[in-house]
Structure 1
Amino acid sequence: MPENQLGYEKMTTLLRRFALPSITSTLVSSLYNIVDQVFIGQGVGYLGNAATNVSYPFSTICLAIALLVGVGSAARFSLFLGKKKPDEAAKVAGSGIVLMATAGLLYAVVGECLLEPLLRIFGATADVLPYARQYAGVTLLGMPFLIVTNGLSNLIRADGSPKYSMFCIVSGAVVNTILDPIFIFICGLDVFGAALATVMGQLLSFTLAVGYLKKFKTIRLVRSDFRLSLHSTLRTFGMGISSCINQVAITIVQIVLNHSLTYYGALSIYGTDIPLAGCGIVMKTNAILLSIIVGISQGVQPLIGFNYGAQQYKRVREAYLLAIRWNFIVSSIGFCLFEFFPYPIISVFGSGNELYMEFAVKFMRIFLFMALVNGVQLLSSNFFTAIGKANRGLLLALTRQVFFLIPLLLLLPLWLGMDGVMLAGPIADFIAFVVSVALVRKELKRQAAHSNSPLQE
């Protein structure tokens, strides 16, 4: 019997133990921007909502960096633990932490220096730019904290402490939620207050995450582990690249989508700012669903990685299929909410004129129509990362966003106008789902054949 619980305990018990705290962490993390949008919508109006929308790429790029280092480090960490090499796992963790801190500081400096040009690239109009500049200028200061916290959370979960990882994220979100209404309504700081509350919450989460460095269960970190080497860095990047590219692709999609909405919105009855604001609400709402799916994916990653490293392929298959079942349950609930209750969901983010509500409801129903299956691509991409096949994970990460959605966003509106922008989402989701099923099915068959071979036995 393997010494580590990941190799022998019941899979449903393990996934529940690892995924539920992870889901809570990712869900609460996504609420940072959503809470801001709710209070900004109530206190500032739909121009404030549009400002958080065009500022959102800064957050997705930040998360991409955190996933590049965090997921890559955690995947290598789990594989080394499965191979019973704790010293190598410690080196991976130490170098990963140095990478997170360095990348966070560089990102914040570059973002502040290029703030206004980047906001224009992200789709800010003349009316939205002042609000966006104020919001993003402050939140960029918290990005180093966010990168280290999210990156460390992956290592903490891989070390077998998913509840502590959850505690770090939840604590910061609670502070953000408490301070948002105080700064916006009581202090009258509006968009600046929402951004300041976000950074203060991120600082608390960062402090708690760094406090775990002396509490690792499976390894013992020493000073020599906190060193960078080109070989180790490239291996970590290779393992985390699919998750990173998926976030970068989301950023590119957001930029293309924002520009398409303003261009075709100007040709419609909605104008330029209503589509930006409505899309922002829909994308943030969908982010709640995606955060749960990401939580499932992060929770199952140590289970898949450890058992693949230990050559227990039946448990690898069991873990993946169990995560897919969880995904379908969550996605089914999301689909029902998006299709049958869009108006009350949108109303949470503040009121608007009749055209604003009409567009937001229509956009939610059409763009998120394939929400039932779009989590399969994300889970499958991370599945390949967990087993060390980063190239296939990268391929799947690119399918939905880059190979399908961006071309559809550019082509369909030429014939269908604003409706083409909306239809691009569900069409891309369905194609990515089909590709994901085909690639994972082939890999699981290969593992089954290997586990049944005489050499394996």
Structure 2
Amino acid sequence: MQDLTQGKPLKVILQFTLPLVIGSFFQLAYNFADAMIVGQTLGQSAFASVGATGSIIFLILGFAQGMTTGLSIIISQRFGADDAEGIGRSFIHGLFYSLLISLVLSVSSLLFLRTLLEVMQMPSELIDSSQRFLTAIFGGMVFTVLYNYFSSAIRALGDSKTPLYALIVASIINVLLDFFFILNLKMGVFGAGLATIIAQAFSVLYLGLYSQQKIPYFKLYKSRLHLDKKELWVHAKLAFPMGFQASIIAIGAITLQVVLNQLGTDAIAAQSIASKTDQLAMLPMVNLGLAISTFTAQNYGARKVRRLLEGLKQTLVLTVVWALFFAGILIVFHTQFSTLFLMKPSQQVLDLALIYYIINGLCYWILSILFVTRSFIQGLGNGFIPTLAGFAELIMRAFVAIVGAHLYGYAGVAAANPAAWIGSVAILIPSLLIFIRSMKKDSQ
């Protein structure tokens, strides 16, 4: 556990962020392993079918991830306020919500999976493979949700190293199982999804045992095993808006995918490649966002306003610098990035991917501001403004994707993400300035 209310802000933020970045790298490694093994062994159509499921996964699992992040913010605030009993209550109620949501989402997503793929106008040559992959992913959703909850809860106490260890083990297991299921057992894309779920199950086992043996706050004493209506409401007020925020953004991503599906397999393959590269670009941004959320929550709980504002400013500068640097690298070495996933992609796919890199890469700096400001506001315990920003993302992404595809083809679709980022930041920045002014006034 690490107290983020002490020490130089940027130093403790970076110390907290480094294990997150390494952990996310390993997570990307096994996501990339799925994509690379599928693309290199099963071909472009199989690769496209897996890539085309990203927006659906984001819709379903994004809600759970947003919710678990909201639950962990309450733990962070109580940790900063040195409220040991409150942390214990928060962990129990968060665990209840995580189990409930995983059950509801798993059953509902499997029941309506085929219908959703058809509504998205998935090309007929991809729909069966996409369904098989998603059946594995959603069938094991309880492990995904519990992994996110345990990781978020442990990070809320300032410990970002333990989730890293779990991810390293999971990454190794996932890569080994990818080769075994796909190359040896010939299970195709279902094997890729199954490998991911089994790997996450090992992570859940590790983190669950660790939380019970090493973290007194999280011990499941008999006296703690009861639910309180007031606590359920307190946690729902933050957790569910953050879950809906992620799902709202995902609806925009699904709209974009529907438009892409109408442009054909080459466009889908190019977008699948580009979305993997996006994950690499976002890796430091996302994790600095997670760090600033925990940093803000702890310091807000401890009422250290000047310190949390200093951390915000320094983190914003750092993320913008990274965004500009990575954009330059991506555009210069675009071919090398694209051929990571497909051995011999068509020239059309390479050309479309380059269009995406240029349009999106030049706007990564806006995305970096989005991640940090949104996480800062969430760390204050406000779920409404990020949800409103999510609506702005949805509207901008959907509008630009539909109109852009009609006017400019794939280039118009590629512009949908930057438009969404601009729409979100237009809500977040004015709200951030209002919060800062209010906090400064209250601290005087």
1:222-244 deviations in whole A, cap 9, x for unaligned? Answer: 23434444443333233234542
Q: Does 1:357 align with 2:350?
A: yes
2:391 paired with 1:398? yes
1:84 corresponding residue in structure 2? 82
1:191 corresponds, among 172, 189, 192, to: 189
Measure, in 1, the Cα distance between the counterparts of 2:2 and 2:331. 44
SS of 2:96's partner is helix
Q: CA deviation at 1:259?
A: 1.6
Distance 2:14 2:307 in 1: 15
Aligned to 2:274: 282
8 Å CA contact retained: 1:95, 1:225? no
Shift of 1:43: 0.8
In structure 2, what is the equivalent of residue 148 of structure 1?
A: 146
Maintained 8 Å contact 2:394/2:420: no
How far apart, CA to CA, are the structure 2 residues paired with 1:431 and 1:59?
Answer: 23
1:40 Cα deviation (Å)? 0.6
Instruction: Give the drift of 1:30.
Output: 4.0
Distance 1:377 1:9 in 2: 26
Deviations 1:252-302 (A, max 9, x none): 122111221233x2xxxxxx1111111111112212222432211212222
Q: CA deviation at 1:150?
A: 0.8
Q: Cα deviation per residue 1:171-192 (whole Å; 9 max; x = unaligned)? A: 1122112221233224333322
Give 2:204's aligned residue: 206
Instruction: Report if the CA contact (8 A) 2:122-2:261 is conserved.
Output: no
- CA 1:246–1:378 in 2, change beyond 3 Å: closer, same or farther? farther
Contact 1:335 1:371 in 2 (8 A): yes
Partner-residue secondary structure (3-state), 2:417: helix
CA gap of 1:188–1:221, structure 2 versus 1, over 3 A, is closer
Cα deviation per residue 1:110-155 (whole Å; 9 max; x = unaligned)?
Answer: 2222221122234421000121122111222222101100111111
Q: How does 1:266-281 map to 2 (within 5 A)?
A: 272-281=264-273
- Point out where structure 1 has 5 or more consecutive residues left out of the alignment: 266-271
Determine which of 306, 316, 319 is the counterpart of 1:327.
Answer: 319
Task: Kindly report which structure 2 residues correspond to 1:39-438, keeping only aligned pairs within 5 A, or say none.
Answer: 39-214=37-212, 215-216=214-215, 218=217, 220-241=219-240, 243-263=242-262, 265=263, 272-350=264-342, 351-399=344-392, 401-438=393-430
CA distance in 2, matches of 1:123, 1:338: 31
* Cα distance in 2 for residues equivalent to 1:236 and 1:25: 27
TM-score (norm 2): 0.92
Alpha-carbon distance in structure 2 between the residues aligned to 1:262 and 1:220: 48
* CA distance in structure 1 between the partners assigned to 2:350 and 2:169 by the alignment: 34
Distance 1:122 1:216 in 2: 44
CA displacement, residues 295-347 of structure 1 (integer Å, 9 cap, x when unaligned) = 11212222211111221101110221222223123312321233222211110
Matched-pair contact (CA < 8 Å) for 2:386–2:428:
no
Q: In 1, Cα distance between the equivalents of 2:435 and 2:135?
A: 45
Question: 1:349 and 1:386 mapped to 2: Cα distance?
Answer: 36
CA 1:211–1:360: 2 relative to 1, 3 Å: same
Post-superposition offset of 1:109: 1.9
**Is the partner of 1:6 in helix, strand or coil?**
coil
Q: Alpha carbons of 1:12 and 1:418: their partners in 2 closer, same or farther (altered >3 Å)?
A: closer
In structure 2, what is the equivalent of residue 439 of structure 1?
A: 431
Match of 2:32 in 1: 34
CA-CA distance at 1:392 after TM superposition: 2.0
Measured in 2, the distance between the counterparts of 1:357 and 1:82 equals 49
In the alignment, is the contact (CA less than 8 A) between 1:54 and 1:123 conserved in 2?
no
Q: Does the 8 A contact of 1:28 with 1:173 survive in 2?
A: yes
Distance 1:156 1:387, change over 3 A: same
Return closer, same or farther for 1:229/1:125 CA change in 2, 3 Å cut-off.
Answer: farther
Structure 2 contact 79–157 (Cα < 8 Å) conserved: no
Contact conserved, 1:66 with 1:147, CA < 8 A, in 2? yes
Q: What is the distance in 2 between the residues matched to 1:282 and 1:276?
A: 10
Q: What SS does structure 1 have at the residue aligned with 2:364?
A: coil
Q: Following the alignment from structure 1 to structure 2, what is the Cα–Cα distance between the partners of residues 244 and 200?
A: 24
Q: Which one is further off, 32-41 or 235-244?
A: 235-244
Give the direction of change, closer, same or farther, for the CA distance of 1:119–1:432 in structure 2 (3 Å limit): same
> Could you list the per-position Cα deviations for residues 400-456 of structure 1 after superposition, in whole angstroms to 9, with x for gaps in the alignment?
x213222222233333333322223333333433543333233223322332x2xxx
Preserved CA contact (<8 Å) 2:323 2:364: yes
Q: Tell me the secondary structure at the aligned position of residue 104 of structure 2.
A: helix
The change in CA–CA distance for 1:98 and 1:419 in structure 2 (over 3 A counts) is same
Q: Does the aligned pair in 2 maintain the 1:43–1:190 contact within 8 Å?
A: no
Amino acid at match of 1:299: A
Over the aligned positions, Cα root-mean-square deviation in angstroms equals 2.3
Measure, in 2, the Cα distance between the counterparts of 1:44 and 1:133. Answer: 16
CA distance in 2, matches of 1:204, 1:11: 34
Q: Distance in 1 between matches of 2:221 and 2:191?
A: 40
**Contact 1:64/1:243 (CA < 8 Å) preserved in 2?**
no
Q: Distance in 1 between matches of 2:253 and 2:266?
A: 16
Aligned-partner Cα distance in 2 for 1:416–1:96: 46
Aligned to 1:8, what secondary structure does the other structure show? coil
Distance 1:35 1:131, change over 3 A: same
SS at match of 1:5: coil
Of all paired residues, the percent bearing the same amino acid is 19
Superposition deviation, residue 86 in structure 1: 1.5
Looking at structure 2, the residues matched to 175 and 326 of structure 1 have their Cα atoms a distance apart, in angstroms, of 33
- Distance 1:434-1:107 versus aligned 2 partners, 3 A rule: closer
How does the TM-score come out when normalised to structure 1?
0.89
Contact 2:389/2:423 (<8 A) preserved? no
